[in-house]
Amino acid sequence: MSDVATCLLNSHWIVLLPFLAGALIILGCSLFKDKMPKTLCMGISIAAVFYGFLQSLLIFNELRQTPTPYMSDIDWFVSDSFKITVGILVDNLASLMLIVVTLVSLLVQIYTHGYMREDPGYRRFYSYLSLFTGSMLGLVISTNLIQMFIFWELVGVCSYLLIGFWWNKPSAAAACVKAFVVNRIGDFGFLIGILLLLSATYGFWHAHADHGLLMFYDPQVGGIDGVTLSGAIKWALDPAHGTLTQSFLTAISMIMFLGPMAKSAQAPLHVWLPDAMEGPTPISALIHAATMVAAGIYMVARAYPIWLDWTNIAEPSTASAGLAYVAWIGGITAFMAATIALTQFDIKRALAWSTVSQLGYMFVGLGCGGYSAGMFHLTTHAFFKAMLFLCSGAVIHALHGEQDMRQMGGLFGKVKYTATCFLIGTLAISGVPGFAGFFSKDEIIGTAFAWQGPGHEVLAWLMVFTAGMTAYYMFRMFFMTFTGTYRGSAHVHEEHKPDPLTVPLLVLAVPSIAAGAVGADLQQFIAHIGSSEGYASPFSNFVHFMHPHAEVINMSAMTASTVFSLVGIALAFALYYKKGFALDVAIEKKIPALYRFSLNKWYWDELYMAVTNFLLTAFKQVWECVDKHVIDNIVNLQRYIFLGFGHLLKYSENGRGQSYALTIFAGVALIGLFVYFFVSSP
């Protein structure tokens, strides 16, 4: 057996080692009463994820040469009619996500040593990071929806612990509760969708009881007609077997999509993500780049057959109402978050709204049928967004905790490594030609123009306009932070050489520049510009290894997106390069209502609070009127009735045998009379 084949067989250690590392750190801190060496905690955690990264690279290389999924399952719950399994599924899609998660997590953990080494919770933070990484990796390699849901919940629990890591801060405590509650709403929809799908396809799984429920792949077959989600849906839609209809399947997909909406912060379940910035910057980078928020995108991609149109069972189509719903939710969210980011002054929160917007782009790609386009943008975004968040953390660290961009400016010469990397990330997310985001974002926009769903032209141009806003607010951040004159009062801790805070940034800068060109095959990409011929990119071929599909380069869409981005950059340069935040002050004076609408995040939090207060008031009124006066009086009436009977019957309990005998005889006589007159009479 080759080394790579052995690596595939031992791929479960990619998930297990981070969990073991987290457990060891927690156990060590308990045994040594928080005297466990910090370096040892860091070493255990980083070693676990570094092993996973190396294994992921070997798996990726093996599947690139031989695209054959590897799956291993064990029984978890077994009954006569079905069984639930847990195991490992490693295919092309999973291997790509494994690399993204392990690489970003590895660099974040290295960065954490420089950022958190003086924090008293240093050891605890590393244990949480390990558990969080293990949970996300477990979600990635899940073989079925039930196992995925278990790790989905573990990711939520770990995010609660990390967002509220500084629990003594009221804002952090409130933020972690908010994240937990909002995600529970989405998770409830996800669970209901799983149960509805299981109910509709139960006959299929019962007929294949040797396999686990809701499996993504058949371990022996792996095709669309095997024991898979696709096979189960195809079976249930056949009137000869099941009772599932396309409309019911669409309803299931929309209900199930509540889970990705919450996890990946799509409107209206997006409100938790900007508040998650209350956690330490390393976890902000991890949550917003490659782990928690990517879980929703990955879930839709992994369970994609649920969102397809199966009207023609032999050839399912992406022209479905479920995918149109996904596309429009993503499009509205991308536009909304971009308009909010225009006016934010907290550097981390501005990046958070950028993340919400970019996640919307990914859902637009998936919803418009651009499966590989959505996953391509997830991959490139993970690198440059992680770098941007880590850059923001380095700036905050250099300014001793300051996050307000109005108190920054002129930092380029003082934190040159951070500033350079931030510029690279800004160029990448803005879609400037040559950088990673240009290839992946323009592919989504091209897919939106090619889509024929409801309102397709409006959605496509909305994405183009949003691309321009993205370039504008990102360069607004860059100019306010790094150019002009320093406006703050805190002493700036200058960078003189690479250290644990800057090395991860420099590493992430490489894929932020090159990942797009590598995934698109730059030579073939240039050769197909302006051609109507289908172009199957290396990324598309790898992700769609069973059914490769062609990507047509839409020259008009690419040109429009690039022009809007360059206009946004030029506008930001003209207004913010040396003028600080004067434009924001001017807009606030000229159009205060519109400015406050953006600054106050479309008043989503106020809307939720108003609804909550209304419901609490209604509940109080119902309690006052119904529970207190009706229900309580009914219960009290019953109490008085039984109390009255008790008072009457107590006189019969006098302790005299003659009285008891007389009562018995009287009762027998009454029963006899009743039977005689009402039962025996003809």
pLDDT digits (tens, 9 = 90+) for 546-558: 454 556 667 788 8
Backbone angles phi, psi at 152, to 5 degrees: -55, -45
Q: Residues 638, 640, 641, CA angle at the centre, nearest 5°?
A: 65
pLDDT digits (tens, 9 = 90+) for 257-288: 999 999 998 989 989 988 888 888 888 888 77
- Contacts of residue 182, Cβ cutoff 8 Å, sequence gap at least 6: 262, 269, 271, 272
Other Cβ atoms closer than 10 A to 660: 13
Q: Give one DSSP letter per residue of 144-172, joined into a string.
A: BHHHHHHHHHHHHHHHHHHHTSSTTSHHH
Sequence letter at residue 76? W
pLDDT above 80 (res 309): yes
Percent of the chain with pLDDT over 70: 92
pLDDT above 70 (res 536): no
Backbone angles phi, psi at 27, to 5 degrees: -65, -45
Are 413 and 483 in contact by the 8 Å Cβ rule? The answer is no
Least confident of 109-118, 282-291, 525-534: 525-534
**Average pLDDT in the 137-146 region?**
93
Could you tell me which residue, 506 or 115, shows the higher pLDDT?
A: 506
pLDDT above 60 (res 681): no
- Contacts of residue 493, Cβ cutoff 8 Å, sequence gap at least 6: 397, 398, 399, 400
What mean pLDDT value characterizes the chain?
85
Q: How many residues does the chain have?
A: 682
Sequence letter at residue 304? Y
The SS3 call for residue 414 is coil
As to burial, measured by CB atoms within 10 angstroms (0-12 exposed, 13-18 middle, 19+ buried), residue 114 is middle
Least confident of 118-122, 215-219, 267-271: 215-219
Q: How far, in Å, CA of 562 to CA of 566, rounded?
A: 6
Sequence letter at residue 165? F
Q: Which of 448, 428, 452, 426 is nearest to 438 (CA)?
A: 428
Q: What is the pTM of this model?
A: 0.88
Q: Which of 214, 209, 206 is nearest to 233 (CA)?
A: 214
Backbone φ/ψ region at 552: left (φ over 0), alpha (ψ -120 to 50), beta: beta
Backbone angles phi, psi at 213, to 5 degrees: -75, 145
**Average pLDDT in the 646-652 region?**
72
As to burial, measured by CB atoms within 10 angstroms (0-12 exposed, 13-18 middle, 19+ buried), residue 312 is exposed
Are 453 and 319 in contact by the 8 Å Cβ rule? The answer is yes
Query: pLDDT value at position 166?
Result: 85
* Two tokens, residue 533: 């011929």
pLDDT digits (tens, 9 = 90+) for 89-114: 998 889 999 999 999 999 999 988 88
As to burial, measured by CB atoms within 10 angstroms (0-12 exposed, 13-18 middle, 19+ buried), residue 84 is middle
